[in-house]
Amino acid sequence: MYLKAVAVCAALTLAGAGAQAMTLTENFNDGTLNGFGVINGGAGSVINGGPGGASDPYLSVVDTASGFMAVTFGPEWVGDLSAFDGAAFSVDYIQTAQAAGGYIESFGQLLLTGAGRTIGADVILNDPTATWQSASATLTASLFGVSQSIWEDVLADVTEFAIRAESWSNPSETVGFDNFSLVGTAPPAVPLPAGGVLLLTGLGALGLWRRRRT
């Protein structure tokens, strides 16, 4: 029995079934901002009424001054994000109060700062309305309009992860965000090395020999 358990453990260790994809999510279900904030003339709070219904918490962002307000993400969304090259980003969004003026085209632009530069890409393509909508995008160098080397440099040392929340040219509009998600691509499974095959064969043979002796 002991040898059988050893063989199973060795098989699992050597085969390396491939690590799961890395994932970052924020749905504000605990009722707190969790390190998220609003910069450039806005204020954020967690209130109910998200896409999941009247009791679903979400991030509400109120425009309080002139400037292109943006939502900055929590501490888990900075640092070395190299594993998220080609990751799937998604978010739900809404506009609950409209201001005077015109629509701001940069609403929903994702901003990554790192390696001494800030790069941006449009991940929300439809104007926010009074109904919850969803948006998604695959984060690649081409989406951000930069070279692969620049993209990798930024991802390796992200100091700020943000999304533009300014939807109207005059202050006082209110928008909401929920269910931020960033899902990286899973690394390939590690093949079993030749030495591992020999080890498993040997363990199997040893187990058979002991069984015959007993």
Q: Could you tell me the CATH number of the domain that includes residue 33?
A: 2.60.120.260
Provide the domain limits for residue 113.
Answer: 24-185
- Contact predicate 34/40, CB 8 Å: no
DSSP element (H, E) containing 179 = strand 174-183
The number of domains in the chain is: 1
The DSSP output letter for 206 is: H
Kindly state whether residue 79 falls inside one of the protein's structural domains: yes
Given a contact cutoff of 8 angstroms between Cβ atoms, the answer to whether 82 and 158 are in contact is no
> Could you report the per-residue pLDDT of 158-194, keeping only the tens digit for each?
999 999 999 987 788 999 999 999 999 866 555 555 5
pLDDT digits (tens, 9 = 90+) for 37-95: 999 999 999 999 999 999 999 999 999 988 899 999 999 999 999 999 999 999 999 99
First to last CA, the chain: 12
Angle ∠(203,206,211) on CA atoms, nearest 5: 125
For residue 8, being part of any structural domain is answered with no
- pLDDT tens sequence across 87-135: 999 999 999 998 777 788 899 999 999 999 999 999 999 999 999 999 9
11 in any annotated domain: no
What is the full DSSP assignment across 32-64?
Answer: S-TT-EEESSEEEEEEE--TT-TT-EEEEEEE-
From 91, 93, 79, select the one nearest 22 (Cα to Cα).
79
Does residue 15 fall inside a structural domain? no
Identify whether 123 is part of a domain.
yes
Let me know if residue 144 belongs to a domain: yes
pLDDT, tens digit (0-9, with 9 covering 90-100), for 1-17: 443 433 433 443 434 44
Query: H or E element: which one contains 13?
Result: helix 2-15
| 8 A C-beta contact, residue 96 and residue 132 | no
Residue 140 lies in a domain: yes
As given in the structure block, the two tokens for residue 110 are: 């994702």
Residue 29 lies in a domain: yes
